[in-house]
Amino acid sequence: MDPVRNPFCPGAGTPPPELAGRDAVRETVRIAVERLRIGNPTKSVLMVGLRGVGKTVLLDQMRNDAEASGLHTVRVEAPEGRSLPALLAPQIRLALLRLSRVQRAKSVAQRALRGLAGFAKALKVRYSDIEVGLDLEPEPGLADNGDLELDLGALFEEIGKAAKAGGTALVIFIDELQYVEEDELAALISSLHRCTQQKLPIGVVGAGLPQLRGQAGNAKSYAERLFEYPEIGPLSRDDARLALVKPAQAQGVGFTDDSVEKIISHTKGYPYFLQEWGKHAWDVADASPITATDVRRASSEAIGALDESFFRVRFDRLTPLQKRYLRAMAELGPGPHRSGDISEALGRKVTALAPVRNELIGKGMIWSPSHGDTAFTVPLFDEFMKRIIPDDTWKQG
Ligand SMILES: Nc1ncnc2c1ncn2[C@@H]1O[C@H](COP(=O)(O)OP(=O)(O)OP(=O)(O)O)[C@@H](O)[C@H]1O
Ligand SMILES: [Mg+2]
């Protein structure tokens, strides 16, 4: 059918035509930020889930929801290798400039801008990647000690006061939070804690891989009490059906029941894969409704497209030994696997492979659901590893 009208859209952070199955978590966040606005105690929210389950699009949607109800927001993504203060500073500046246009908040927001100037200046030595426009002169003693935890806390406090004066809340949306260094995560958590204790309306909605929960707990033991951790997973059968059927229906196109069943069984309800199968099934079908035969014909193209993009970009970032480690995991099945079993498959000692395991965790390829266990962060990555390294070459090395 006409590819121009194809509604499905596999892609990192690409909003889906139907954001299926996420109403409950959107409501959790709506309640949290509305409570924040009126000064009621509330927990910040860290969404955790595997690659491609839809964390980024959800975060963006929640940000739109918050903006639509008159809250102030900032949005950052933590890439590997940039510091959190450098990411936050320019966004916080913009938020404060917006707040300072609210008459009631003006003077408090300006004080916060002075705080930001001191913050950036004092931390520039340690975090040389901080680049932020300075609108006002720093106020000596305000957020300028040169200690991230202290200064971020002081800055958050000033921002919180400005938001409160403006009768609003500031919600900071942070994607890929698992890449933030432990001391920076600790500073973020303690700054939030400081504001919570004073009932200041500043909150965080974050998203990251499943290891984020443990990382937050390691950074600050009280993180468990400060955050809710909704798990973002594959869609239920009904929601997966909705994600396929509704966007097609809007274009006057149907899916037969068995075609939907087939797609659900291939994709296991993972959003990225649903978009990929939906897209290719649409493209190969000659007419509505899309049938199980269309899905069969589309499957090899959907897998090919995933191999070339979703899986490939991750594979290409790996060293030869990291590839062998993941291939050994794949040999054992979808997982999770005991570290000992993986080492055994490679004929090496667990201790000898500990560094490569740590590197893979750092790259966000694997995580540890419980002590000594190792699991993929990318759904169906085991099958991909077997496709890309089909023979036994990984055993020698
Ligand atoms: N609830 C949903 N219903 C249907 N499709 C969805 C849903 N959520 C996300 N998608 C689709 O899944 C794909 C992946 O979404 P997104 O990039 O937000 O995932 P992610 O969890 O952020 O992945 P990563 O961990 O790789 O950053 C996109 O093509 C998006 O349109
Ligand atoms: Mg994402």
**pLDDT band at residue 344 under the 50/70/90 scheme:** very high
Q: Is the CB of 275 under 6 A from ligand 1?
A: yes
pLDDT in tens, 369-385: 999 899 999 999 999 99
- As a whole number, mean pLDDT of residues 184-202 equals 97
Q: What is the mean pLDDT of the chain?
A: 96
Residues of the chain above pLDDT 70, percent:
100
The secondary structure of residue 69, as a DSSP letter, is T
pLDDT at 81: 80
**pLDDT band at residue 240 under the 50/70/90 scheme:** very high
Cα-to-centroid distance, 258 and ligand 2 (Å): 31
260 touches 241 (CB < 8 A): yes
Q: What are phi and psi of 158, to 5 degrees?
A: -65, -40
Q: Is the CB of 52 under 6 A from ligand 1?
A: yes
- As a whole number, mean pLDDT of residues 195-217 equals 96
Q: Which residue has the least CA distance to atom 2 on ligand 1? A: 19
Cα-to-centroid distance, 271 and ligand 2 (Å): 12
Q: Is the CB of 174 under 6 A from ligand 1?
A: no
Higher pLDDT, 6 or 41: 6
pLDDT at 79: 80
SS (H, E, C) 126-168: CCCCCCCCCCCCCCCCCCCCCCHHHHHHHHHHHHHHHHHHCCC
- As a whole number, mean pLDDT of residues 113-136 equals 93
Cα-to-centroid distance, 15 and ligand 1 (Å): 7
d(CA 211, CA 185): 13
Cα-to-centroid distance, 20 and ligand 2 (Å): 16
Q: Is residue 132 pLDDT above 80, yes or no?
A: yes
Cα-to-centroid distance, 277 and ligand 1 (Å): 14
161 alpha-carbon distance from chain centroid: 28
pLDDT at 80: 75
pLDDT at 300: 94
Q: Is the CB of 156 under 6 A from ligand 1?
A: no
d(CA 242, CA 233): 16
198 touches 160 (CB < 8 A): yes
215 alpha-carbon distance from chain centroid: 14
- As a whole number, mean pLDDT of residues 125-153 equals 94
For the chain, strand residue ranges (E) read: 44-48, 72-77, 170-175, 202-208, 227-228, 337-338, 366-367, 373-376
pLDDT at 264: 97
Q: Taking the alpha carbons of 10, 12, 13, 19 in that order, is the dihedral positive or negative? A: positive
377 touches 364 (CB < 8 A): yes
Q: Which residue has the least CA distance to atom 9 on ligand 1? A: 54
Atom of ligand 1 nearest to the CA of 53: 21
Q: Is residue 319 pLDDT above 80, yes or no?
A: yes
CA distances to 215, 246, 381 from 242, in Å: 34, 5, 25
pLDDT at 193: 97
Residue 15 CA: which ligand is closest?
Answer: 1
Residue 57 CA: which ligand is closest?
Answer: 1
Q: What are phi and psi of 261, to 5 degrees?
A: -55, -40
Q: Is the CB of 163 under 6 A from ligand 1?
A: no
Q: Is the CB of 19 under 6 A from ligand 1?
A: yes
0.75 cut: is pTM over it?
Answer: yes
234 touches 265 (CB < 8 A): no
pLDDT at 396: 82
pLDDT at 397: 72
Q: Is the CB of 271 under 6 A from ligand 1?
A: yes
**pLDDT band at residue 149 under the 50/70/90 scheme:** very high
- As a whole number, mean pLDDT of residues 39-59 equals 96
d(CA 194, CA 176): 23
Q: What are phi and psi of 322, to 5 degrees?
A: -65, -40
Q: Is residue 27 pLDDT above 90, yes or no?
A: yes
CA distances to 67, 176, 193 from 322, in Å: 42, 21, 38
Cα-to-centroid distance, 273 and ligand 1 (Å): 9
**pLDDT band at residue 35 under the 50/70/90 scheme:** very high
- As a whole number, mean pLDDT of residues 139-162 equals 97
Cα-to-centroid distance, 269 and ligand 1 (Å): 11
pLDDT in tens, 65-120: 999 999 999 999 998 788 999 999 999 999 999 999 999 999 999 999 999 999 99
Q: Which residue has the least CA distance to atom 6 on ligand 1? A: 271
Tokens of 65: 């929801």
pLDDT at 278: 98
pLDDT at 190: 98
Strand (E) or helix (H) holding 182: helix 182-197
Residue 51 CA: which ligand is closest?
Answer: 1
Q: Is the CB of 367 under 6 A from ligand 1?
A: no
